[in-house]
Amino acid sequence: MTGSSLTTIQQNCIYSIKAGEEPLSADIGIIRGKKNTLLFDVGNGEKARSLLQNALSTDSFPSSIIIVLSHFHPDHIGNLSYFNAPETTIFQGENTYKYTNCGKIVTRDLYLEDGNRYHLFPLPSSHAKGSLGLEINEEYAFLGDATYASRKNGIVVYNAQILLEEIKTLNALKARYFLLSHQEQFVQEKQSVLEQLQEIYSHRKKDRPYIEL
């Protein structure tokens, strides 16, 4: 992949296309399987679309595509129509399906095998209801924006109960590394991410459903 637009996460297996601005576009995960290429999110806008199409046009990746969408925000699903061929399989949460109207809804842990072991899992998130994560070979986990806060009445907040559920879900994963979209450091140690979330949760106040930042 030397000289390409792809960043190597794990040699000969996991790659990414970096998030961009104007228009906002999320990081895109590209995973080489034995029979399929799996995309985690598809980004948004012409630049992200062109980079992804160029990567997929090479012989390096199988032409059959599986897409996993982390959540429904446009920077993660905006380019979906360009990669949603009839033979493409799409997985997403129920809320995301309301925006895509295509593919399969994931409501519980789902395991797939294709030279890699894929674990798709619903991920509680204050940022976007119905988020979905992807664990690969029990080593890496794509989380999209699920660890981020939301805004309520102009204030940045976490839902305390949802955050607790999210911490429990992430703690149960076997993956050592978490991949967080829009972060300068895309790949982060699981323990570091959990410590950050636990620190936020420690600021909850009794009888207050939200943690304000």
Residue 22: CATH number of its domain: 3.60.15.10
Mean pLDDT of 16-34: 97
91 is a domain residue: yes
Question: What pLDDT shows up at residue 58?
Answer: 86
166 is a domain residue: no
25 is a domain residue: yes
Q: How many domains does the chain have?
A: 1
Mean pLDDT of 129-153: 97
Quote the domain boundaries for residue 85: 7-148+176-188
212 is a domain residue: no
Encode pLDDT of 52-103 as tens digits.
Answer: 999 999 888 999 999 999 999 999 999 999 999 999 999 999 999 999 999 9
Task: Identify the band that residue 4 occupies on the pLDDT scale cut at 50, 70 and 90.
Answer: low
Mean pLDDT of 143-155: 95
154 is a domain residue: no
209 is a domain residue: no
Cα dihedral 169, 7, 82, 140 in deg (nearest 10) = -20
**Which position has the token pair 């798709």?**
120
127 is a domain residue: yes
Phi-psi region of 54 (alpha: psi -120 to 50; beta: other; left: phi over 0): alpha
157 is a domain residue: no
The values of phi and psi at residue 113, to 5°, are -125, 130
The answer to whether 67 and 49 have CB atoms below 8 angstroms apart is no
CA angle 173, 176, 179 (to 5 degrees): 90
Mean pLDDT of 43-48: 98
Query: Residue 195 and residue 200: Cα distance in Å, rounded?
Result: 9
> Residue 72 gets which letter from DSSP?
S
Question: What pLDDT shows up at residue 3?
Answer: 42
Secondary structure (DSSP) of 131-179: EEEEEETTTEEEEETTTS-EEETTEEEEEHHHHHHHHHHHHH---SEEE
pTM value? 0.96
